[in-house]
Chains A and B, each alone.
Chain A
Amino acid sequence: MTAVPAPAAQRSAPADVIAPALIFVALAAVPVVASVGAQTYVLDLVSRIMIFAIAAVALDVLIGYGGLISFGHAAFVGLGAYAVGILSAHGFGDALIALPVALAASALFALATGAVCLRTHGVYFIMITLAFSQMMFFTAASLAPYGGDDGLTVRARNTIAGFALMRDALSFYYVVFACLLATYLLCRALLGSRFGRVFCGARENPIRMASIGYDVFRYQLVAYVIAGAIGGLSGFLLANAAEFVSPAYMSWQRSGELVIMVLMGGMGTLYGAVMGAAAFVFAEEWLSGLTEHWKMIFGPLLVLIVLFARGGLVSLAARLVRSKA
């Protein structure tokens, strides 16, 4: 009806149920389909997509619903990954220790930096989140005992309560899948709740929200911490997937890639971020097979998507469905 649709949490269209259901059914079926071909390759690739999707979904909560354009989300991912790497270097290889530490580290970092960042708005917010993540990047790069610039090899994938559930590609795939599904459902519930309504309202009109009695800063900070912790979850999985951590996980390019995933998929839908992560990783995989200068093709592609498919792949798909109907 209008050019600016309400945030998905504030409306209920069939597409908001059907589209994510289709995506998750497809992801659950990937191992079955992949078993006919190069299974390990496909499982690793789609696992990587889902790991980035976890971080991107959380980022979409901030960008698409809260209007908080965080340009430092990779710092949370990196912190989660370093928690796994450093603990493993000291002989702690179980997820029951590594995961809580990863979540706590990224949540604490989000709390400390968010308390500062959220005092600013617009471009300043973008710049200050970037600055904090760069700070973490250089900190990680100077961690000589843990590989410094070169990064750090994780001895082995984490066990879960002593069981090697993440060792083989298939079970690791489903662990990641479960994490993504949980993340999606959590964020969705969050945004539709009382809390989410205040958080979305703060983006719409912070002064109006203050004038009816909401201290919007507190709500934004809590959301920032939750999104940060989910970034830590993504990092925890990333370190286990690659069995390696490096400062590059926290680089500003990586933060930018997460923003691109959200934009490409379509902001403010959550499942769009999953599509965006898939599109990004596929494009990277396919284009980098063609040429090592793949970003020269990817860049213009991105410009086209932003220009002609505002609302990202989600709106493109919706238009296709409508024209067929």
Chain B
Amino acid sequence: MSEPVLRIEALCKYFGGLLVTDSVTLAINPGELHAVIGPNGAGKTTLINQISGLIRPDAGRIELGGRDVTSLPTHARAALGVARSFQITSVLPRFSALQNVALAVQARSGSSFRFFGRADHERALNEEAEAVLAEVGLSARAHVPALALSHGEKRVLELAIALAIRPKLLLLDEPMAGIGRDETERLIAVLRALKGRFPVLLVEHDMTAVFALADRISVLIYGRILASGAPDVVRADPAVIAAYLGDEME
């Protein structure tokens, strides 16, 4: 089997006296969609924040394509291809949807220390951004400021921004949070179409989405990985049912 894209080894993180990431070891293989599920406060977002570099772990190591990135800052990891969405939507509110995406395209195409020439008029940036917006079905809203988009549209825009940096690894932190049934279906369809192009680490509470999309699932409880494996195996695991799925599946 080929080398995993992301390898996390014995990762630990304390918030004060609380161990929020408890020796987590995890590998994500090329093309797979790996879901991390678990109750609130299990440390799922903290785990994603450590992978994307917003939080430094207290112990352990994070490898990206065989390279140790444990001490790299967020922007350097993004430059290596780590893209992410946030649990609470994170876009540039006063920029249009197109500008949001074009800025992500700009990040990986040439220097941004260019002081002349209007960035908004750069065809290459705009065309690529338009293509990404078309892919997620947001073309009609390209020139709307992000703050005027609906909540569901913002979530899709955030996904478009992540796609625009041409990720080598995509981290999605509860992309379905707070959006309606129809929009969830739409987002599941978009994610399914993306599957296989790059590995995805998906943190999600919506079990329909998780079981529809995941190749493998890890269950995180109190910062520890309780079980990890194929969806059917995890679903049948008595420890998982007792600790988490029991309530969620009812």
Residues of chain A at the chain B interface (Cβ within 8 Å): 1-2, 4-7, 10, 12, 189-190, 192-198, 200-201, 204-205, 207-216, 219, 222
Across the interface, name the chain B residue whose C-beta is closest to A219. Answer: B112
- B78 touches A (CB below 8 Å): yes
- Which residue from A4, A193, A216 sits with its C-beta under 8 Å from B94? A4
Closest chain B CB from A132 CB (angstroms): 25
- B67 touches A (CB below 8 Å): no
Is B83 within 8 A of A214, CB to CB? no
Is A205 within 8 A of B75, CB to CB? no
Give Cα A4 to B148, complex, Å.
11
19 contacts across the A-B interface (CB closer than 8 A) = A5-B94, A6-B95, A10-B94, A10-B99, A192-B120, A193-B116, A195-B115, A197-B103, A207-B74, A207-B86, A209-B92, A210-B74, A211-B75, A211-B90, A212-B83, A212-B164, A213-B75, A213-B107, A219-B112
Q: Which residues of A contact B19 (CB under 8 A)?
A: none
Please report the total number of B residues contacting A with Cβ < 8 Å. 42
Closest chain A CB from B98 CB (angstroms): 11
Q: Which residues of B contact A201 (CB under 8 A)?
A: 92, 95, 103
- Which residue from B96, B104, B115, B145 sits with its C-beta under 8 Å from A2? B145
In the complex with contacts A192-B118, A192-B120, A214-B92 CB distance below 8 A = no
Give Cα A100 to B115, complex, Å.
21
Is B95 within 8 A of A10, CB to CB? yes
> Which of B52, B75, B104 has the most A CB atoms < 10 Å from its CB?
B75
Q: Which residues of B contact A200 (CB under 8 A)?
A: 95
Is B103 within 8 A of A198, CB to CB? yes
Across the interface, name the chain A residue whose C-beta is closest to B111. Answer: A194
Closest chain A CB from B192 CB (angstroms): 24
Q: Which residues of B contact A215 (CB under 8 A)?
A: 73, 75-76
Closest chain B CB from A122 CB (angstroms): 18
Across the interface, name the chain B residue whose C-beta is closest to A205. Answer: B92
Give Cα A4 to B147, complex, Å.
9
- B134 touches A (CB below 8 Å): no
- Which residue from A10, A194, A207 sits with its C-beta under 8 Å from B106? A194
Is B74 within 8 A of A194, CB to CB? no
Is B75 within 8 A of A194, CB to CB? no
Give Cα A208 to B164, complex, Å.
13
Chain B 127-167 per-residue mask, 1 if CB under 8 angstroms from chain A, else 0: 00000000000000000010110000000000001001100
Give Cα A6 to B165, complex, Å.
24
Across the interface, name the chain B residue whose C-beta is closest to A189. Answer: B116
Q: Which residues of B contact A214 (CB under 8 A)?
A: 75, 78, 107, 112
In the A-B complex, the 4 residue pairs with the closest CB atoms: A213-B78, A204-B92, A213-B107, A210-B74
- Which residue from B90, B99, B113, B120 sits with its C-beta under 8 Å from A208? B90
Is A193 within 8 A of B78, CB to CB? no
Give Cα A201 to B107, complex, Å.
12
| B residues 19-61 touching A (CB-CB < 8 Å) | 52, 54
Chain B 81-111 per-residue mask, 1 if CB under 8 angstroms from chain A, else 0: 0011010001111111001000110111011
Q: Which residues of B contact A196 (CB under 8 A)?
A: 115, 119
Is B145 within 8 A of A6, CB to CB? yes
Give Cα A205 to B92, complex, Å.
6
Is B54 within 8 A of A208, CB to CB? no
- B79 touches A (CB below 8 Å): yes
In the complex with contacts A210-B75, A210-B78, A205-B91 CB distance below 8 A = yes
Closest chain B CB from A57 CB (angstroms): 16
Give Cα A196 to B74, complex, Å.
21
